[in-house]
Amino acid sequence: VALLSECPLGDLLAQAGTPTPAYVYDLDALSLAGRLLESSFGGARHLAAYAMKANSAGSILKRLLAEGLGVDVVSGAELELALAAGAPPERIVMSGVAKADWELDLALSRGIKAVHAESVEELERLEARARAASRSARVALRVNPGVEIDSHAHVATGHDAAKFGVHRDDLAAAFARIDASPTLEAVGLSAHVGSMLSKPEPYVASARRLCDQARARLAAGGRLEYIDFGGGFGIDYGGGAPAAPGAFVESALALLAEVGLSHLELVIEPGRSLVGSFGVLVASVIQSKVSGPRRWLLIDAGMNDLIRPALYGAKHRIEPLDRAPAGTTYRVAGPICESTDDFGEHEMADAVPSHVVIRDAGAYGFVMASEYNGRPLPAEIFVSGGRVVSVSASPGREAWIRRRLEA
């Protein structure tokens, strides 16, 4: 599962024939991650719904679908893309705190597994759209579990001040609203506590609260097909390996057994853990610059290509493409006119390298890229069996210039 150690990235770049910055993904490695995750369920009834927001490339979706995963979508466009990539509608769930009417309509017309409603207000809209289309709507409630996690504030979603989910205190009323409707059908209960969890404990803490809610509903004679504990499994960005996704699944299954809910289908929504480690961003070095106490390495990839350092203070390992012995510390920064366009300090070879590799960029990399400062979206290169199998070229600067001129 080691893209960097097994494939000569320089050769792959030459094969692809695309200029930098370019993302390079190892499709075989992420297939294997999908397969391992699927095997961790044993015989338990489940749906591992890949949170495709992490990386929506078609070849990645197809690989994970082939391993038996479903998809968690958060927009109408993601839903259409998932279906076009071959996802069976009954293996798709739709999350999102503010789904537009057309997105609800699309979900209803395609017959997906469930819409995950995040408020009582949304239930009213969903019912109206379903009634207008003379359809019934399969709905799950996303609960805000009220659990604090030890993650960056920007990726913690399950605490009381978050915009996500139905507040715990409103859950019974929300279910009552569904049960009173001839159009809405309650099929699931979900939660997502946040991202970058390094161990199963907070996941299980949230899941336990969700189980309490599920048991209360079942005890009151309500219906429920599945329970969805969300995603959030961390990956190793260089600070140590978090628990593997399978360990989260095992804890979840053990919890369901402990509380007598093993008859429910277990749904999870992993994103990062399936793709994050299996993509890198390759950049060219523009030049070095010595300024006061600092030795800068200025590269052609910036926060427009990978925003995680700027947005979350994330540190991605960076190394020279040719991996010469380290010796000099450089502060690596991109070309964007913002101080936050800064990838931090990294050990490099004494000689200024021609290219660098930014590691663990497979999740929330390309999908969060922008064209800020007139920098077109980066290329994406897909590798399997040690060679390039497809390339998605950058739209290029001409396209950007044309569009902005016409704006």
Residues forming contacts to ligand LLP in the complex (CB under 6 A) are: 51, 54, 72, 95, 155, 157, 192, 195, 230-233, 269-273, 308, 312, 364
> 349: which 2 tokens?
């070879």
| Beta carbons of 252 and 214 less than 8 angstroms apart | no
Angle at 232 between CA 301 and CA 336, to 5 degrees: 15
The nearer residue to ligand LLP, 95 or 251, going by C-beta atoms, is: 95
Shortest distance, position 358 Cβ to ligand LLP, whole Å = 13
In a 13 Å sphere around the CA of 77, the CA atoms on its Cβ side amount to 4
Shortest distance, position 169 Cβ to ligand LLP, whole Å = 20
Residue type, 142: R
The nearer residue to ligand LLP, 176 or 367, going by C-beta atoms, is: 367
**What residues are paired with 138 via a beta bridge?**
185
The nearer residue to ligand LLP, 12 or 268, going by C-beta atoms, is: 268
Helix (H) or strand (E) holding 343: strand 342-348
Helix, strand, coil percentages, rounded to 5, for the chain: 35, 25, 40
Shortest distance, position 163 Cβ to ligand LLP, whole Å = 11
Dihedral sign of CA atoms 251, 257, 259, 261 in order: positive
For the chain, the first-to-last Cα distance in angstroms comes to 44
The nearer residue to ligand LLP, 95 or 181, going by C-beta atoms, is: 95
The nearer residue to ligand LLP, 242 or 320, going by C-beta atoms, is: 242
| Beta carbons of 286 and 299 less than 8 angstroms apart | yes
Q: Which of 57, 22, 8, 10 is nearest to 275 (CA)?
A: 57
Nearest residue (beta carbon) to ligand LLP: 271
Shortest distance, position 272 Cβ to ligand LLP, whole Å = 4
Shortest distance, position 110 Cβ to ligand LLP, whole Å = 19
Helix (H) or strand (E) holding 301: none
CA distance 249 to 69: 14
- Pick left, alpha or beta for residue 396 (phi over 0 → left; psi -120 to 50 → alpha; otherwise beta): left
The nearer residue to ligand LLP, 7 or 275, going by C-beta atoms, is: 275
The 10 Å Cβ neighbour count of residue 247 is 15
Q: What is the residue whose two structure tokens read 């490695």?
A: 29
Q: Which of 310, 330, 335 is nearest to 318 (CA)?
A: 330
| Beta carbons of 127 and 181 less than 8 angstroms apart | yes
CA distance 160 to 156: 10
Q: Which of 231, 229, 249, 233 is nearest to 241 (CA)?
A: 233
Shortest distance, position 192 Cβ to ligand LLP, whole Å = 4
The nearer residue to ligand LLP, 296 or 312, going by C-beta atoms, is: 312
**What residues are paired with 291 via a beta bridge?**
294
Catalytic residue among 153, 161, 337, 407: 337
CA distance 73 to 50: 8
337 is annotated as an active-site residue: yes
Shortest distance, position 362 Cβ to ligand LLP, whole Å = 11
CA distance 235 to 237: 6
Shortest distance, position 307 Cβ to ligand LLP, whole Å = 8
The nearer residue to ligand LLP, 181 or 213, going by C-beta atoms, is: 213
Active site residues: 337
